[in-house]
Amino acid sequence: MFFYIFLILVAILIVANIKIVPQAEAYVIERLGAYHDTWHVGLHLKIPLIDRVAEIILLKEQVIDFRPQPVITKDNVTMSIDTVVFYQITDPKVYTYGVENPLSAIDNISTTTLRNIIGELELDETLTSRDVINTKMRSILDSATESWGIKVHRVEVKNIIPPAEIQDAMERQMKAERERREAILRAEGEKKSAILVAEGQKQSIILNAEAGKESAILLAEAKKEAAMREAEGEAAAILKVQEATAEGLKMLKKAAPDNKVISLKSLETLAEMANGQATKIIIPSEIQNLASLAVSLSEAMKDNKKKA
């Protein structure tokens, strides 16, 4: 009976000392008060009353959000800065036995490191140099925590809170800057508008000038065309007169007129010339003889009528 009870107690004791280490955790095991082993993922058996789990270490990347720290810049401006540190435990044994309260140690190192870095920067540089601050702090913290089995992956400056009067001055400065930019943009808009108006007027003047030029060219071409057609008409008329004259001369030549016909035609021409406005008429000698003959014939005809 006692044997069965003993077996049951042994079984319970063995089951109670079976440990299953989950993923992303590590167990630091001490045997008789001294470090013995580090258990990782899997099934492990602990010797009762001899072995004990000294520390359970989380191997995931962890985040520490430190409280705001008062720091003084190079130009003696006091401000508050809080940081966020992303770290991971890489050596459970060193982390367990390296330093008392590692998170408090990281907090203190982060504070002193931040004050040293900000002390070398002025206010404007502090507000615009977050990347520089992050890089320097990560490098310094990673080097300091390496001996504690901690790897610092990243450090971020979460907030930079300057004094109230500095904030008011910065807000006034930003307001003035915005007003200046607005004035510049308005002036540039008015300038572009004036340029566009002037360009439009220039284009209008150019188009009007081109239209006037084309109109003058068309008018000149019209006048030229009219003059050419008028000259062509006059030339055609002169040609017709010349052709008529030539045709008359041909007909006259074919008719072969005698001297009497020529004399009679000369008298008709003389009569037409006398009806004109000429004040002096030069009569050829042949026409003069013919005129004398005509006068003589006229007188003879009058005498014959009287005698009758």
Question: What does the DSSP assignment read for 86-148?
Answer: EEEE--HHHHHHHSSSHHHHHHHHHHHHHHHHHHTS-HHHHHH-HHHHHHHHHHHHHHHHGGG
Per-residue confidence band for 85, with pLDDT thresholds at 50, 70 and 90: very high
pLDDT of 56 reads 92
CA distance 105 to 73: 24
Which CATH superfamily groups domain 62-162?
Band 7 domain (3.30.479.30)
pLDDT of 305 reads 54
Q: What pLDDT digit, counting tens, does each position of 201-226 carry?
A: 888 888 888 877 887 888 888 888 88
Per-residue confidence band for 77, with pLDDT thresholds at 50, 70 and 90: confident
Per-residue confidence band for 59, with pLDDT thresholds at 50, 70 and 90: very high
pLDDT of 304 reads 54
pLDDT of 177 reads 83
pLDDT of 174 reads 81
Residues near 118 by Cβ (< 8 Å), separated by ≥ 6? 71, 72, 73, 79, 81, 126, 133
3-state secondary structure of 152: strand
For 255-263, which contacts have Cβ atoms below 8 Å and span 24 or more sequence positions?
A: 263/287, 263/290
Q: Considering only residues 293 and 44, tell me which one the structure prediction assigns the higher pLDDT.
A: 44
Q: What pLDDT digit, counting tens, does each position of 106-126 carry?
A: 888 888 888 898 888 888 888
When pLDDT is averaged across residues 196-205 and rounded to a whole number, the result is 86
When pLDDT is averaged across residues 146-159 and rounded to a whole number, the result is 89
The overall average pLDDT reported for the chain is: 80
- Which of 21-35, 196-210, 242-256 has the lowest average pLDDT? 242-256
pLDDT of 14 reads 81
292 has pLDDT over 80? no
277: which DSSP letter?
S
Q: Considering only residues 308 and 104, tell me which one the structure prediction assigns the higher pLDDT.
A: 104
**CA-based radius of gyration for the chain:** 66
Read off the tokens for 227: 């003059």
Read off the tokens for 151: 């790897």
Extents of the domains making up the chain: 2-58, 62-162, 257-272+283-296
Predicted TM-score (pTM) of this structure: 0.53
Q: How far is CA 249 from the centre of its chain?
A: 88
Q: Considering only residues 292 and 18, tell me which one the structure prediction assigns the higher pLDDT.
A: 18
Strands 42-45 and 69-72: unpaired
pLDDT of 240 reads 78
pLDDT of 296 reads 52
- Which of 80-89, 185-194, 209-218 has the lowest average pLDDT? 209-218
CB 148 within 8 A of CB 99: yes
